[in-house]
Amino acid sequence: SANHIKLPNTATEAEVLKCIASLNGDPAVHGFIVQLPLDTDKPINTEKITNAVAPEKDVDGLSSINAGKLSRGDLGDCFIPCTPKGCMELISFSAFQADLVAAEAPLCFSTASVGKADILVVAAGKAEMVKGEWIKPGAIVIDCGINHVPGAWVMYKDDIEISQSCIPKPIDQVAREVGLLPDEVELYGQTKAKVHLSALKRLKNQPDGKYIVVTGITPTPLGEGKSTTTVGLVQALGAHLHQNVFACVRQPSQGPTFGIKGGAAGGGYCQITPMEEFNLHLTGDIHAITAANNLVAAAVDARIFHELTQTDQALYNRLVPSVSGVRKFSDIQIRRLQKLGINKTDPTALTKEEVNLFVRLDIDPGTITWQRVLDTNDRFLRKITIGQSPTEKGFSRMAQFDITVSSEIMAVLALSDGLDDMKKRLGRMVVASSKRGEPVTTDDLGVTGALAVLMRDAVKPNLMQTLEGTPVFVHAGPFANIAHGNSSVLADKIALKLVGKEGFVVTEAGFGADIGMEKFFNIKCRYSGLRPHVVVLVATVRALKMHGGGPAVTAGVPLPKEYMEENLQLLERGCSNLNKQIQNARMFGVPVVVAVNAFKTDTKAELALVVQLAKEAGAFDAVECTHWAEGGKGAVALAQAVQRASQAPSNFRFLYNVELPVIDKIRLIAQQIYGASDIELLPEAQEKVTLYTKQGFGNLPICMAKTHLSLSHDPEQKGAPTGFILPIRDIRASVGAGFLYPLVGTMSTMPGLPTRPCFYDIDLDPVSGEVNGLF
């Protein structure tokens, strides 16, 4: 078997020598080569590197010892370099016994001598140097070149193969390079770490860098490469243009990793690494959210049960027990008393009426909105009956499980700007209404402090890196439909301080610009106070053809021929969606750079047409990108366009004032962002508008829960539809996170497993310990 070990181009000579020494001493490694020239930003002595390879493992024959034996003729006691040996072996099988002309870079040769050769071996170091007309008919050409040809595509390798072929820098080194102090970093092995919030306090007077958000056109079900573009852009800015840069991305759910979608670390040569760490447990944040969420769910049902089976006095005696003859309210119980208008701190001083108010939350089971969660796709948990054990005395009810990343606690984590703010948001979460129509919160349940304890580590951003050694914060991963679909405010704030005034922070917004970007602006930026400098809008020829009327695109099914062949008319029609999403971004006063994510089936004419139409639609610039195949190098032009755009005026503004009535805020989003003529509230939604306004939640921002496959509510309507009525089926509240989310259609919050899930291909090598099959 063979392994490809790829060090980042920021690796030092000492790091390369350390890697070579490890291979020299590994008995399982029989030989290895060091690929020259070294692609590095650091000064490295090539001769020192090649001579560090043990002669008995120097299969390239480049060390001084092997080269000396070869020149002396000791062919049985040295490695013969594989390229010339391979060429001679090929020649030995040919029928020609004619002259051989070698075209090698430093040597002089004439086109005449090339034209006489029966066999031509070319290793000139320059692509397409030897012309076809120079070679005589019937001659054999052996091309040893490994030169890059622009527009050519690399051989396909699985994402995990690429990820595992690269040796990441030790994460403590990454932390030092970005300016973090040792006591601000909590290591989780060699490849990931948590960053303490004390770093933000230390850097509070440091000016912020440039704030870039990556979004996309309305996608196909396959996705159009926002994560890949985010990583490619930061690799280009950092490893190639030598700017201070950070990526800030969401942590993915494990559900899709084992389901049908796979992981979310980027792809090709633009990945966050190690991808298996990124896509699986990471540092346990999602597990902490699962525990916290389910503690709330357990508290809700337990409270209902105990209130139904006990008198007021029995409840009071258990809620405020006598310890060594002394009864005392806890801090959270004092807050509940104050909320009820009872300004007493002595448990013996409450009247019977006050005791009744204190102990009875009187939850209406039909209004419970808080569900249990699990980070696994399981369709059979979408509707369940709980409380069927005899010990629950017949108090059963219908309930459900959601996937963990849809929990409001995940959205709270993403929007908090510190421990204190997170604790307050956790306490404000509404789980149900009382039979009097009053909101019941986690603070009323008495669970806020326990939630904060469970989340105390999760609030710290996770530090990782890309394949090219640029730093990444991976933190929070809220749904992009019933929540706002963006990574954490805290990660962005710390990153903006670390990169400094001239640096760049690139974050990604989920789904298309009509969903993730709109929520990034109207919700995330509203709460964080941060102001973006540039929008990067990712587009693909594939998706635009779909919007132009192309056949349906289905995950796991080969693409129809319309997507594999040039079709400029179909493409131009589909650019109506690109045009609308550019206008949506510009509506917020931020310059837009379109990243045309190129696929190998795209033609030059198609890519040029998208670039042209994007600029005509008002984009600051539009750039073809090949970062999936080339890494950061393939996104350098995009990075340069982003640099220029970040210097342009940015007059950021919100779409609406939160003081507007709920219906008006929904209508503005529907008309301005989606293209609807109006909205229609179904009876249940109208009742919720009245209820939430009465409960004091009417001034919260709006987080639309809508299909991501169309600008409208109908996933079959492609392009840029107009004139439709947007139906609002229901409205729900995430009061702790801080938004209302209208439901446009039916939203699944628990995915199911397909017939052939990804887990069929996932395995662990018991010898190496490596994970196989993730993508």
Evaluate if residue 446 carries a pLDDT over 60. yes
**Active-site residue identified among 358, 473, 620, 628:** 628
Evaluate if residue 314 carries a pLDDT over 80. yes
* Joined tokens for residue 740: 């209302």
Residues 6+ apart with CB under 8 A from 187: 171, 172, 193
* Joined tokens for residue 680: 């229609």
The predicted model gives 440-458 an average pLDDT of 98
- Looking up tokens 């629950």 gives 392
Burial of 292 (0-12, 13-18, 19+ CB in 10 A): buried
Q: What percentage of the chain has pLDDT greater than the value 70?
A: 95
**3-class SS at 102?**
strand
Model confidence, pTM:
0.83
**Active-site residue identified among 192, 194, 210, 261:** 261
More confident residue, 669 or 774: 669
Q: What percentage of the chain has pLDDT greater than the value 90?
A: 72
pLDDT mean across residues, the chain? 91
* Joined tokens for residue 696: 């004091």
**Active-site residue identified among 6, 57, 192, 250:** 250
Nearest of 175, 177, 200 to residue 185 by alpha carbon: 175
380 is a catalytic site residue: no
pLDDT at position 592 is 98
pLDDT at position 155 is 53
- Determine the Cα–Cα distance for residues 57 and 441; give it in Å rounded to an integer: 67
The predicted model gives 290-304 an average pLDDT of 98
- Determine the Cα–Cα distance for residues 441 and 675; give it in Å rounded to an integer: 37
Asked whether the beta carbons of 168 and 191 are under 8 A apart, the reply is yes
Residue 190 corresponds to which amino acid?
Q
Residue 593 corresponds to which amino acid?
V
**Active-site residue identified among 247, 265, 299, 480:** 480
The predicted model gives 335-346 an average pLDDT of 96
**Active-site residue identified among 228, 230, 376, 749:** 228
Gyration radius (Cα) of the chain, Å: 31
pLDDT at position 571 is 98
pLDDT at position 95 is 60
79 is a catalytic site residue: no
Q: For residue 263, report the phi and psi dihedrals to the nearest 5 degrees.
A: -80, -175
pLDDT at position 98 is 46
The predicted model gives 271-296 an average pLDDT of 95
Q: What string of H, E and C letters represents the secondary structure of 524-592? A: HHHHHCCCCCEEEEEECHHHHHHHCCCCCCCCCCCCCHHHCCCCHHHHHHHHHHHHHHHHHHHCCCCCE
- Residue 150 banded pLDDT, cuts 50, 70, 90: low
The tally of CA atoms less than 13 A away on the side-chain side of residue 734 is 29
pLDDT at position 121 is 84
Residue 96 corresponds to which amino acid?
F
543 is a catalytic site residue: no
pLDDT at position 77 is 75
The predicted model gives 21-42 an average pLDDT of 87
- Min mean pLDDT across 156-170, 201-215, 621-635 is at 156-170
599 is a catalytic site residue: yes
393 is a catalytic site residue: no
pLDDT at position 151 is 52
DSSP H helical ranges for 396-520: 408-415, 419-428, 442-445, 448-454, 489-499, 518-519
Residue 2's alpha-carbon distances to 28, 31, 33, 49, 491, in angstroms, are 11, 10, 11, 21, 38
127 is a catalytic site residue: no
pLDDT at position 747 is 82
Tens-digit pLDDT profile for residues 403-434: 999 999 999 999 999 999 999 999 999 999 99
Burial of 671 (0-12, 13-18, 19+ CB in 10 A): middle
Beta strands at 504-508 and 534-539: parallel, antiparallel or unpaired: unpaired
- Determine the Cα–Cα distance for residues 414 and 482; give it in Å rounded to an integer: 14
Asked whether the beta carbons of 730 and 742 are under 8 A apart, the reply is yes
Tens-digit pLDDT profile for residues 708-732: 999 999 999 999 999 999 999 999 9
Asked whether the beta carbons of 735 and 218 are under 8 A apart, the reply is no
Neighbours of 476 (CB within 10 A): 31
Tens-digit pLDDT profile for residues 375-398: 999 999 999 999 999 999 989 999
Asked whether the beta carbons of 87 and 107 are under 8 A apart, the reply is no
More confident residue, 513 or 746: 513
Nearest of 642, 669, 510, 651 to residue 586 by alpha carbon: 651
- Determine the Cα–Cα distance for residues 715 and 112; give it in Å rounded to an integer: 64
**Active-site residue identified among 169, 226, 460, 524:** 226
pLDDT at position 174 is 97
**Active-site residue identified among 479, 511, 588, 739:** 511
The predicted model gives 436-452 an average pLDDT of 97
46 is a catalytic site residue: no
633 is a catalytic site residue: no
Query: Residue 740: beta bridge partners?
Result: 702, 733
Neighbours of 695 (CB within 10 A): 15
Q: For residue 31, report the phi and psi dihedrals to the nearest 5 degrees.
A: -175, 155
Neighbours of 375 (CB within 10 A): 18
**3-class SS at 292?**
helix
Tens-digit pLDDT profile for residues 82-114: 777 777 777 776 665 544 444 444 445 566 677
